[in-house]
Structure 1
Amino acid sequence: MLTIALEQASFYAYHGLYPEETIIGNYFMLDVAVRIPGTVPVDDLSETVNYQGIYEIAQTVMAVPRPLLEEVVYELSAALKQRYPAIQHSMVTLRKMNPPMGASIRNSLVSLEKDY
């Protein structure tokens, strides 16, 4: 298997359950890793998953506010598989930095791992 990934892609977005989160927004860190069959060497971009394409999908998904981070990772996973049918496995991890919980917490995290 061949793994293609983006790590710690930073976004400012408006995901959150509470009204103030949808107004103020927050910083998010996104990790995405996908696996495709890797039985032969790749020498053309059309034979792999373009990490620029992963980022473009992430930008589109992150731009739509959702109440739950779980919704975001499921949507991103589905959009990746739709654009790149060769994906056999994906791992999408989304961190909300400094979640508004009234405590000193670096980040909350939701992660989705899928086999196709």
Structure 2
Amino acid sequence: MSHFKQTVALKDVKCFALHGYYPEEQLIGNHFVIDLTTEFTPTNFEDELSQTVNYEDLNVIILNEMKNTQKLLETVLKNIISKVMELYPFVEKIEVSIKKLNPPMPGQIGHSFVKLTHISPK
């Protein structure tokens, strides 16, 4: 008997947002790049969107959460995961990461990076 794991993901979702710990970061904003990956066991392979994760929904979740200014990127990621779990309770693993491009620090830094992974208990 075959067993499958299915992955539905969005990579390199680009956003401008006002996230940052310091007040000036929340005023000037920054560019961010988000990756979101979901993994689950498909129940069947009917040619129906209701049988999978709709990556359009994932995009809406990301864009909405990026509009909600937070001090910590970890909070943004936790909120994204919570929304995905709420919409798709059958998802077994959610991994979301965010890059803050050219963070405002001395030196030449390409990006800072935070990743959060949620694994549903069996």
- TM-score, normalised via structure 1 length: 0.96
Structure-2 residue corresponding to 1:12:
16
1:24-52 superposed Cα distances (whole Å, 9 cap, x missing partner): 00000000000121353241000100000
- Show structure 1 runs of 4+ deviating over 3 A: none
What are the within-5 Å matches in structure 2 for residues 4-83 of structure 1?
4-38=8-42, 40-83=44-87
C-alpha contact 1:42 1:48 (8 A) present in aligned 2:
no
Unaligned runs of at least 5 residues, structure 2: none
SS in 1 for 2:75: helix
Identity %: 35
- TM-score, normalised via structure 2 length: 0.92
1:41-98 superposed Cα distances (whole Å, 9 cap, x missing partner): 2410001000000000111111000000010111101110001111110100011000
Q: How many residues align?
A: 116
* 2: CA distance, partners of 1:70 / 1:42: 36
What are the within-5 Å matches in structure 2 for residues 99-110 of structure 1?
99-110=103-114
**Paired residue type of 1:16:** G
Structure of larger gyration radius = 2
Unaligned runs of at least 5 residues, structure 1: none
